[in-house]
Amino acid sequence: MLTIDKDKCDECATCVAVCPADALCLAQHLSVDTGRCTECGTCVKVCAFGALSHTTE
């Protein structure tokens, strides 16, 4: 599952721009639609502050 570290996230939306599944959304804060997310890891890779990660549970 994709996890957003709210303390690290700068809300720059770079991850939203690269998400091929359109699963991320930045309104007031960044959120992920877990139903759409395919866990491809693209957003994790481009996050400049390392605020995104995949966790297993």
Partner 1 sequence: MNGAHMNETKQRTFDIAVVGAGPAGSMAALYAATGGRNVCLFERKQTVGIPVRCGEGIGLKGISASAEFDRRWVQATIRKACFMSPGGRTVTLEDIEESCILDREIMDRDLALRAESAGAVLLCGTPVLSVSRSDRALYRCTTPAGDYFASCVILAEGVESRLARSLGWDTSLALSDIESCAFCRIRHPSIQSDAVWFYVGSTYAPGGFAWVFPRAEGWANVGLGLLGSLCESGKPQQFLERFVERFFPGSSLTDLHCGGVPVGKWVKPLVRDGVMLVGDAARQVNSLSGAGIAYGMYAGRLAGQTAARAFETGTCDYRRLADYEKAWAKHLGKQQLRSYALKTMLLLKNNDAFLERIARSFEHADPSRLKYVALFLRAFARHPLLLLKAWRLFGANRAGRRTGDT
Note whether 35 and 14 are within 8 A (CB): no
How many degrees, rounded to 5, is the angle at CA 45 between CA 23 and CA 26?
Answer: 35
Amino acid, res. 26: L
User: Rule CB under 8 A: is residue 14 a binding residue for partner 1?
Assistant: yes
User: Rule CB under 8 A: is residue 37 a binding residue for partner 1?
Assistant: no
Identify the residue among 7, 27, 55, 56 touching partner 1 (CB under 8 A).
Answer: 27
Please, which residue, 52 or 57, has the CB nearer to partner 1? 52
> Which of 29, 21, 32 lies closest to 54 in space, CA to CA?
32
Residues in the site for partner 1, rule: CB under 8 A?
A: 10, 12-14, 16-20, 22, 25-28, 42, 44-50, 52-53
